[in-house]
Amino acid sequence: MNRIKNGASHNVLAMLFDRVQQSARLMCGLPDYDIYVQHLRKVHPGQSVPSYEMFFRGRQEARYGRGMARCC
Amino acid sequence: MNGAVRTTTWVGVGLLGAAALATIALQRDETVNAAWLVIAAVCCYMLGYRFYSQFIASKVFNLDAARATPATRMTDGLDYVPTNKYVLFGHHFAAIAGAGPLIGPVLAAQMGYLPGTLWIIIGAVFAGCVQDFIVLVFSARRDGESLGQMIKNLMGREAGIVAQIGILAIMVILLAVLGLVVVKALAQSPWGTFTVAMTIPIALLMGFYMRFFRPGHIAEISIIGFLLLMFSLVAGRWVAEDPTWSVWFSLTGPQLAWAMIIYGFFASVLPVWMMQAPRDYLSTFLKIGTIVGLAIGILVTLPDLRMPAITRFIDGTGPVFAGSLFPFLFITIACGAISGFHALIASGTTPKMLETEPEARAIGYGAMAMESFVAIMAMTAASVLEPGVYFAVNSPASLIGTTAESAAQVISQWGFVLTPEMLTQTAKDVGEATVLSRTGGAPTLAIGMAQILSAAVGGPALMAFWYHFAILFEALFILTTLTAGTRVARFMIQDLFGAVVPALGRTTSWAGNIAATTLAVAAWGYFLYQGVVDPFGGINSLWPLFGIANQMLAAIALTFVCVAFVRYGYTRYLLIPATPLVWLLICTITAGIQKIWHSAPSIGFLAHADMLGAALSEGRVLAPASSLEEMERLILNDQIDAALGMVFLTVVVAMVGFGIRSIMKGWSAAPIAQEARA
């Protein structure tokens, strides 16, 4: 993943791109992988970190598995 | 900004909004520009957001950035993640925005643009935005619980079960009506049918690509999918112009209904990565893009509204849907003013991602204001059409006949200027054989959007392209909802009936899944098919039933909010949720009673059944039936519709009963000091 990281050295445009990408992914139910990995490392250090591929599959199943209560 | 400047600004916004409202309400002889609609709406949303939502946020709830949200307390990196306010706003808006706010206003335009516009604006500011915002706050303070869980906890298990039955019933009628919108838009339209059919192989291709070739590269595959979609949109014209292929893709209503039923079954039993997920990516991005495009189109072209402010059809004799302004306007436009579905979203994923509590205001109240603006755009798109053309597109064939001449004659008698040439020219412009009786709202919206967008980009040459783009956008979106909704209904059936029939409840067994899916598809498929063969075009009688169901859900959510206000110690502010609740109850119950028992056969299901029954006993066959057996089937349809209406009424009344019971219990007891469970 060539995600642009948030950081002081990056300009506003890069941050904006980052946010738009994050929004677009979230709109189809995909949370931020990097945040998830950070969380795992910090809170469950012993646990193995799933690959992006596995993470993606799991999230897909979580979002659509039981259908979505979609607004009309 | 210092105080004086700030005050002056808000007085200015107030005056501008008042001037815009006065212009759209009082202008009678000249056409009104769409700019006034936009200004009136935006000023009202700004005032509502600045003052009313601020009051609720600080005075009522005392929203506090220092109080930890579920996202910070229960971070798991997946569902519970503190998320940037703007990112979360986008997510929440994408989840609440659907086809509803685009269709309801189009149908309501038969009464003129004014009544619908006022209800959209006032409803959003005092009902819809308030509901979304408050449900979001309560859910965030209760660890992100869903509406169903909160109802169960606060109002008891029975209330939870009744609410579940209500939600299942509304899913069934919602899916049937949305399916009907697609059938009406695609019947005898080879261009549209081909393009929409192509979304199936495109979605499959995307699904396999994303599963095995480039897992998780959503942007990349969505762009590929979009390009393929645009290619099939262009290819649709070649199909329509080819004598052999056009026959293959010219389907009748009943054929399309069966195609959708079969599609709905398979799409919802296939693994989600194959069909459901790729469809969702495409339709989500296309929806956001189209909404932004339409907004830019309206702001750039600032079209004049041709529809009068008020038409004679406020008396209930309108051809689009039967029934008078009160109560039917208020159930026809559900999403856009207030939508019960949003309560499910606001208590779903969004509350688990709030970074700080005060941000619930911008996300809950703000996103609904934006959704309401989408409804204003739909009203604009319907009103830029020549009114005569609008009625030709939206009236059933049983009223206006099947030729341009007969339609022009009937509609001219209603007092709207219309010549057969205008109709054939419109059909030619949008690349269709005919635009007559394309009810359901989508084609009207598509013609309006095509007019606006082609005025902005491409001119008349691109009008047919824009028309089919709009149809594709709506059909794609609705088919995605159909797939997702069938799955929701299937699991609800398994949850609800699993206790009674254990075999049905096993969500891991194929037999149980197939049986429950079949039940779900059969339920909405029944109403869809019934609507397709209905002499009034289906939308006429089924849309009000859907509107009743949708407002019923909002009434359930607001009943819960009222109970929560009393139980959590906000009783002195009870009027905030109670006012919209009472209004919704009045509208929903009146409309429900009228749809069942009204003496006019065009409105009341039972009166219609009686009329058919009387003819049947004399051995007469009434259109559209061609045999006495068909007459019997139509009578059965009416009786089932009436029974469904009674289910909705019963659910509403029962929920209000549960609500009153809980309030009585809470009134004497001390309020639960803090709603948060932690």
**pLDDT, tens digit, for every residue of B8-55?**
999 999 999 999 999 999 887 788 999 999 999 999 999 999 999 999
Better pLDDT: B1 or B361: B361
Please say if the pLDDT value at position B366 is more than 50.
Answer: yes
Residue A5 pLDDT more than 60?
Answer: no
Q: What is the pLDDT of residue B442?
A: 94
B61-188+251-386+453-668 maps to CATH 3.40.640.10? no
What integer is the mean pLDDT of B307-326?
94
pLDDT at B672: 67
- In angstroms, the CA B535 to CA B541 distance is 10
Count residue pairs from A and B with Cβ separation < 8 A.
Answer: 125
A34 contacts chain B (CB < 8 A) = no
Burial (0-12, 13-18, 19+ Cβ within 10 Å), B23: middle
pLDDT of residue B495: 86
CA distance B585 to B592: 10
Q: What is the largest CA-CA distance in chain B?
A: 80
pLDDT score, position B459 = 84
For residue B33, the cross-strand partners are: B304
Burial class (CB in 10 A: 0-12, 13-18, 19+), B347: buried
**Residue from the list A36, A52, A70 with its beta carbon closest to the beta carbon of B216:** A52
The closest CB to that of B284, out of A28, A53, A59, belongs to: A28
CA B553 vs CA A31, B165, B335, B539, B550: distances in Å: 29, 11, 11, 20, 5
pLDDT of residue B1: 59
Helix (H), strand (E) at residue B552: helix B539-567
Contact between A69 and B174 using a beta-carbon 8 Å cutoff: no
- How far the first Cα of chain A sits from its last, in Å, is 35
pLDDT at B541 (0 to 100): 80
pLDDT of residue B676: 58
Read off the pLDDT band of B497 (50, 70, 90).
confident
Strand partners, B305: B32
- Contact of A6 with chain B, judged by CB distance below 8 Å, is answered with no
**Tokens representing residue B621 in the block:** 């066959």
Q: What is the ipTM of this complex?
A: 0.88
Check pLDDT > 70 for residue B646: yes
* Cα–Cα distance measured from residue B308 to residue B111, given in angstroms and rounded to the nearest whole number: 9
Alpha helix locations (H) across B310-439?
A: 325-332, 341-346, 359-360, 367-383, 387-394, 397-400, 404-413, 420-429
pLDDT digits (tens, 9 = 90+) for A38-64: 999 999 998 899 999 999 999 999 999
- Contact criterion met (CB below 8 Å) for B71 and B350: no
Confidence of residue B7 (pLDDT cuts 50, 70, 90): very high
Q: What is the pTM of this model?
A: 0.95
Per the prediction, chain B carries an average pLDDT of 93
Rounded CA-CA distance B173/B643 in Å is: 13
Q: Is A45 on the interface with B (CB under 8 A)?
A: no
Q: In the predicted model, what is the mean pLDDT of residues B648-673? A: 86
> What chain A residue is nearest to B271 in terms of C-alpha separation?
A65
Which pLDDT does position B29 carry in this prediction?
74
Question: Across residues B310-319, what is the average pLDDT?
Answer: 94
* pLDDT higher than threshold 90 for residue B99: no
Name which of A2-11, B259-268, B491-500, B645-654 the model is least confident about: A2-11
Residue B678 has pLDDT above 60, yes or no: no
| Of the candidate ranges A7-11, B420-424, B637-641, the one whose mean pLDDT is the lowest | A7-11
Which of B218, B335, B490 is nearest residue A72 as measured by Cβ atoms? B335
CA dihedral of residues B53, B54, B59, B60 (deg, nearest 10): 20
Range in B195-204, B325-334, B453-462 the model is least confident about: B453-462
Give the minimum alpha-carbon distance from A1 to chain B in angstroms, rounded to a whole number: 9
pLDDT-derived band of residue A3, with 50, 70 and 90 as boundaries? very low
Residue extents of the structural domains in chain B: 61-188+251-386+453-668
Q: Give the range among B116-125, B268-277, B570-579 with minimum mean pLDDT.
A: B268-277
pLDDT of residue B391: 97
pLDDT at B605 over 50: yes
Q: Is the Cβ pair A38, B75 closer than 8 Å? A: no
Cβ <8 Å between A64 and B94:
no
**% of chain B with per-residue pLDDT over 90:** 84
pLDDT for residue A1: 41
* Best of B72, B75, B78, B139 to mutate (most A CBs within 10 Å, chain A): B78
- Average pLDDT value for residue range A20-37: 92
| pLDDT for A69 | 63
Give pLDDT, residue B531. Answer: 92
Of A38, A56, A21, A72, whose CA–CA distance to B331 is shortest? A72
